[in-house]
Structure 1
Amino acid sequence: MMIAPAFRRVALAAAATFVLAAGSLSSGAAAQGWRGWNIHTPEHPNGRGMDHFADTVARTSEGRLALRTFHNGQLGQQDEAIQQIRLGTIDFASFNLNSFTNVAPAAGVVALPFLFRDNAHSRLAIDGVAGQEVARDLEQAGLVALAWYDSGVRNLYSVRPVHSLSDMQGLRVRVQNSNLWLETMRALGATAVSAPLSAVIQRFQSNAIDAAENNWVSYHTVGHFEGARFMTMTQHSAVPEVLAVSRTRWNRLPEADRALLRAAAVESATLQRDLMDRQEAASRDHVIANGITVIEPTDRAAWIAAMDPVYARFAGTPRLQGLVESIRALR
């Protein structure tokens, strides 16, 4: 089997880091030191949730399992971190399910634009049958889902007003690196620009993009509201996030430790969701107080209708069509 050069470079670099870290442990030190990846700050709901997860595991395992979260993407960009957790050189992480649409078909379904009515609908789905389907696909991709975090509702923000679908024509929109979002922007008439979250501010400043999409928390805390002063309430996505463990690490654990990790993860998800709800409200209030313009789209039905080819491509099998229907039927 051929391995892509980029994947090979990540694998070799990660393996070298792992060997050096392992070599620094004395023979008497605990061999259960785990490394966790988080793209956000320690203060972000994800960061606080992951730190709570690590602290709970340390306490309930009486120190046998020592987990450390590396925040702010210290262990690499998101694509690199996904490759590393699949290899087993990163042990745990939180990722938005948007990131797995290319390798986990059910993740592509819950990432579909305009699928969820609101955040409560998203949580109801991921805590039920949708979560079971996504977890199954993720495990085949090398990750074990422990709990579901929340990422808020995503909207479009831009350097000029976007009132209707026609305003999307030719707009250069930063999106995550996934085929789903490249196709979504194409269906809306925009040009998708794939870029890491850390590069978005610079892209706005250099006039390389006209818009991006994210939740209120990221729009505020990463400073995107300073470069994009118009927020269009598309509410196009409420994609859950997963707190996951590398399947390589998981397969070496006794059942008692697996249960311990699952319980700690679920507890951390309860905290993370509460913090996200609070931070979403606070971030929205902050940016509005700082003068950003909030726009309600005038033709939401047209945006939804434009998604037909996206659904046909990413939920075209009987299994995925059934999952879409079951999610829509939830009340």
Structure 2
Amino acid sequence: MQMVDRLDEGAIPADLGPLDYKGLYKAVGKALFRAHVEGQLKNEIMSKPEVFVEPDPELPLALLDQKEAGKKLLLITNSDYHYTDKMMQHSFNRFLPNDMGWRDLFDMVIVSARKPEFFQMSHPLYEVVTGEGLMRPCFKAHTGGLYSGGSAQMVENSLGIHGDEILYVGDHIYTDVSQSKVHLRWRTALICRELEEEYSALIQSRSHRATLIDLINQKEVVGDLFNQLRLALQRRIKDRPAQTLAATNMDEQELTDSMQKLLIVMQRLDEKIAPMLEADGELFNNRWGFLSRAGLWDKSHLMRQIEKYADIYTSRVSNFLHYTPFMYFRSQEQTLAHDSYSYEN
């Protein structure tokens, strides 16, 4: 976005050549690709991981509970071995008991997985055989191994489990969650850290939302009354005697005057509602509001994707510590617009 501003201001250096928006998009994309693929970005992160990583001390312990309960744990990452080892040591080792290392947690580690292709295609499999990352070709993965490449089908065959016997945990709705669900029918868990800030913002905005909903409900009542009078006037213009309940015993002048008064009431309610709707969600993001909502009641596109592809979602893996590793999660009851319940005393 800053480069777009610089382009608009004519501040792009001449040695980059004449650029339009399409050319700028390609130039920025190429620069990011080179920084990522050639390792510049990851080298900087590895040199000072404490600047870029916020460790969660409870994450390794949550995984340890799962492992000790008999679950098989796998780490599948697109990163190369050097980066993975460095970041996992920084994030895991100091929080594990009895001199355990991060490798001790996982029954299998796969680096350079090339997701989302990992879920759809079969790439050559290599075993990482030295601490320097040297590899040799292999044709089958085994428990305890460290591998590069391969495929999800290979994982299933190696472990002897398939489909919904696997829970895949990832933080990207497309690369991780939707692809493993669509192509393999794996169970899926989405990690979305922003939910913590959104949840706090929703709690802080309860009073604001309650007042807003009350005003909208008031407008709905007034609007319904206005529409009944409008219908009654329409019927009279067409010489139909049928009346609405709200317009009984009113002549045309009374109907018109009442409608005008109701319009004024609705306009005054709108004057209160509009700025409150505009401000809804500002506690989370002052430009586009809540992550999970579109408007006051509707779900955002992201939230609908999460509901479609993720069997469960949470803000961080360590939240599983609030449950035992033997917990069976069931979906909440799904209500429909025509659902209604009556209870007898």
TM over 0.5: no
TM-score by length of 1: 0.22
Normalising by structure 2, what TM-score?
A: 0.21
Larger Rg: 2
Give the structure with the higher percent strand: 1
Where relative contact order (Cα < 8 A, 6+ residues apart) is larger, the structure is: 1
